[in-house]
Structure 1
Amino acid sequence: MLFFALNGSQTLGARVAAAGGYAVAAHEERDFQGGEHKSRPLVSVRGRDVFVLHSLHGDGVASANDKLVRLLFFLATCREHGAARITAIVPYLAYSRKDRQTKPQDPVSSRYVAQLLEAVGVELVMKFEVHNLAAFQNAFRCRTVHLATQDFFAAHIAAQNSEARLAVVSPDAGGVKRAQLLREALEARIGGEVSFGLMEKRRSAGIVSGSLFAGEVKDRVVHIVDDMICGGGTVLRAARAVRDHGGRSIHVLAPHGLLEAQTFQDFCASGVIDSVTVTDSLAPLAHLPAEPPDWFRILGCAPLIADAIDAVHRGQEISLSVACAPELVDNRQ
């Protein structure tokens, strides 16, 4: 097999390769005047099982659009030169949030991205914690692998809270299934009961509303789980509601940390969140302060991705079970 990590994803790529016990294959990316570019593998891909890692988020250096095009061109190049099978590993997949029509004449951008990946010959798309699992699976006609994070985060929570009474909260109705799966994984790991909560949320024209909260969180250590954090407003609303309902401490979990500089300031100013934990699916984080606050943690997801790559290459079932708590990583480089 060959494993490539495109520019902008080399930090995570190096961690995946180290966890899997193989090297990152050499490739070249060149920019030309006028904004054009080319990329190519520097080793032969003919007859090889090729895995290409690229997280498709805008990071201040390259936009999501630019990263998507670079990934598509590189995958097509590998197909052009005889790769036996091509797997695209996209820990964060751009446009996944636009997976349905909510207004007249709306696009379904997630399906268009799927069609582009299929058009260049991708046979498998691997994604780390999707926004909407049904929409992700239905968008693709090629094989998909979803690396869910419930056991990953359950191992982390259990290691931090051996005796506390726990609760899991979804900050909106769309994340209920994700929160329920985390709750079940956590109950199985600690061998005890974990309560559940849900925050009402409605969004129209960029305005978020809704104030109803349901769930038992009083005197409990509460974990609010979402698939991503961007501006932070959604989890802040839920955190304030949990605090109003007597939560003992409040911790936010999200696989994808699309945090803005203002998000860190808002979290600090709120005084209601005790910790925020994301993964290094976006490596490095564009707006991470030079000295990250003590309450901000980054967990390494590379072993989970490396295990999935190995299983796919060997034609085995993928296991997402986590034996021990994920390790913290430094994502400033």
Structure 2
Amino acid sequence: MLSEVNFTNLTYGNRRAMPSTAEPKLISGNANMPLAKAIARRMSMHRGVNVGLVDARVERFNDGEIFVEVFENVRGEDMFILQPTSNPANDNLMELLIIADAMRRSSARRTTAVIPYFGYARQDRRTKARTPISAKLVANMIVGAGIERILTLDLHAAQIQGFFDIPVDNLYASPIFALDIVAQFKDRMSDLMLISPDVGGVARARELAKRVNAPLAIVDKRREKPGEIAEMTVIGDVTGKTCLIVDDICDTAGTLCKAAEVLLENGAAEVHAYISHGVLSGPAVGRITNSVMKSLVITDTIEATPDVSAAPNIRILPTAPLFAQAILNIWHGTSVSSLFDTDTLAPAYEGIL
């Protein structure tokens, strides 16, 4: 007589039934350690137990090669790698891939890459002959390294989610921005106008405009050649308005500062900017400091340099509450899209904004 079979322990294809882990485990590369530690602290508050970063070392040999060693057992664990692929993009990307390989070879149950800022996202299509689609190449590398899910924030192009053959949860900074706008401009909400700095960013600006119940205008820019703006035109009446420029990335800040000047020339009372990812390379900080903008608000998806932290008109909003809750939702198997709602996210930011 055949003995009873416990079907829950069988393996079907690549699906392995394994016991659920007691707590999610976090491991971080070197790209943004302050954010990683902040996420761990927030998760500890939610769980009522200490959720720390897995003890590991991510180092470089003398020739620049990256080496990873994990000092804790991760067999059967639900692992979350915290690593934006910001500057230096190639080094941080390789750290992510090598950590993922270490997790796979250490028999982690599932590995999720939490990539607050997804580098190479601006290379999402071929703009001319004989050019790569680097975002797709990076997606292939990430999947090949053994990562099974992606959690990120404000992808530059929504179609990048389709570059992956694994689930991608793309969070949005707009609920955080909406909470901050209400806190900062509560006495003059009727004077606000949201601004898209180009035609391509209209959907992003419109979405935030709906959240704060404000009208929308567009700065139409035309280039004669890459890197040089020939003309900017404001589409919409901004006279007497407090203008909030909304975009996902600020790199050298040339376009942003020029747009602020054009808005004031067209009658705006003052100009602020809300940008998801503060790349802020080259002359960006100096341009912003000396610009006509009252403030630039960014998130901490990219670790701030000392110059950025010291800039008097740059404010940094935390994303740790958002990512901590998203990680817990993924771990529990509950909805991540619920975090798109401002009211749902508000309790996590109570006392912060």
Same fold (TM over 0.5): yes
State the distance in 2 between where 1:79 and 1:288 align. Answer: 38
Alignment of 1:235-246 (within 5 A): 235-246=256-267
Superposed CA deviations along residues 16-57 of structure 1, whole A, max 9, x for unmatched, are: 111111211111123223221210322111111100001111
- Tell me, yes or no, if the aligned pair for 1:170 and 1:198 is still in contact at 8 Å: yes
Equivalent residues, number: 315
Find the counterpart in structure 1 of residue 64 from structure 2: 35
State the distance in 1 between where 2:148 and 2:285 align. Answer: 39
Alignment of 1:311-330 (within 5 A): 311-318=329-336, 319-320=338-339, 321=341, 322-323=345-346
**Pair member with larger Rg:** 2
State the distance in 2 between where 1:201 and 1:127 align. Answer: 29
**Residue number among 220, 225, 228 corresponding to 2:246 in the alignment:** 225
Find out whether 1:199 has 2:224 as its counterpart: no
State the distance in 2 between where 1:178 and 1:36 align. Answer: 39
Find the counterpart in structure 2 of residue 173 from structure 1: 199
Alignment of 1:1-333 (within 5 A): 1-21=24-44, 22-58=51-87, 63-133=88-158, 135-164=159-188, 165-187=191-213, 194-203=214-223, 204-260=225-281, 262-270=283-291, 272-283=292-303, 285-286=304-305, 288=307, 291-293=310-312, 295-318=313-336, 319-320=338-339, 321=341, 322-323=345-346
Question: What amino acid does structure 1 have at the position aligned with 2:80?
Answer: F
State the distance in 2 between where 1:301 and 1:19 align. Answer: 10
- Tell me, yes or no, if the aligned pair for 2:31 and 2:85 is still in contact at 8 Å: no
Which deviates further from its counterpart, 199-208 or 217-226?
199-208
Matched-pair identity in %: 30
Q: Classify 1:222/1:290 alpha carbon distance in 2 versus 1 (closer, same or farther; 3 Å).
A: closer
TM-score, normalised to structure 1's length?
0.90
State the distance in 2 between where 1:160 and 1:174 align. Answer: 27
State the distance in 2 between where 1:226 and 1:177 align. Answer: 10
User: Cα distance, 1:97 vs. partner?
Assistant: 0.5
State the distance in 2 between where 1:113 and 1:127 align. Answer: 14
State the distance in 2 between where 1:28 and 1:97 align. Answer: 31
Superposed CA deviations along residues 234-289 of structure 1, whole A, max 9, x for unmatched, are: 1112211211121111101111111136222222333x201111111112x23525
State the distance in 1 between where 2:239 and 2:53 align. Answer: 48
- In structure 1, the gaps of 5 or more residues are 188-193
Superposed CA deviations along residues 266-314 of structure 1, whole A, max 9, x for unmatched, are: 22333x201111111112x235257331x21111110000010000000
State the distance in 2 between where 1:166 and 1:91 align. Answer: 28
Over aligned residue pairs, what C-alpha RMSD do you find?
Answer: 1.8
Q: Classify 1:326/1:215 alpha carbon distance in 2 versus 1 (closer, same or farther; 3 Å).
A: farther
- In structure 2, the gaps of 5 or more residues are 1-23, 45-50
Q: Classify 1:214/1:289 alpha carbon distance in 2 versus 1 (closer, same or farther; 3 Å).
A: closer
State the distance in 1 between where 2:37 and 2:199 align. Answer: 36
Q: Secondary structure at the match of 1:201?
A: strand
- Tell me, yes or no, if the aligned pair for 1:299 and 1:327 is still in contact at 8 Å: no
Find the counterpart in structure 1 of residue 13 from structure 2: none
- Tell me, yes or no, if the aligned pair for 1:298 and 1:328 is still in contact at 8 Å: no
Question: What amino acid does structure 1 have at the position aligned with 2:133?
Answer: V
Q: Secondary structure at the match of 2:85?
A: coil
- Tell me, yes or no, if the aligned pair for 1:224 and 1:250 is still in contact at 8 Å: yes
- Tell me, yes or no, if the aligned pair for 2:114 and 2:150 is still in contact at 8 Å: yes
State the distance in 1 between where 2:68 and 2:121 align. Answer: 25
- Tell me, yes or no, if the aligned pair for 2:222 and 2:232 is still in contact at 8 Å: no
State the distance in 2 between where 1:300 and 1:50 align. Answer: 22
- Tell me, yes or no, if the aligned pair for 1:173 and 1:198 is still in contact at 8 Å: yes
Find the counterpart in structure 2 of residue 191 from structure 1: none
Question: What amino acid does structure 2 have at the position aligned with 1:308?
Answer: A
User: Cα distance, 1:70 vs. partner?
Assistant: 1.3
State the distance in 2 between where 1:257 and 1:274 align. Answer: 16
State the distance in 2 between where 1:201 and 1:4 align. Answer: 42
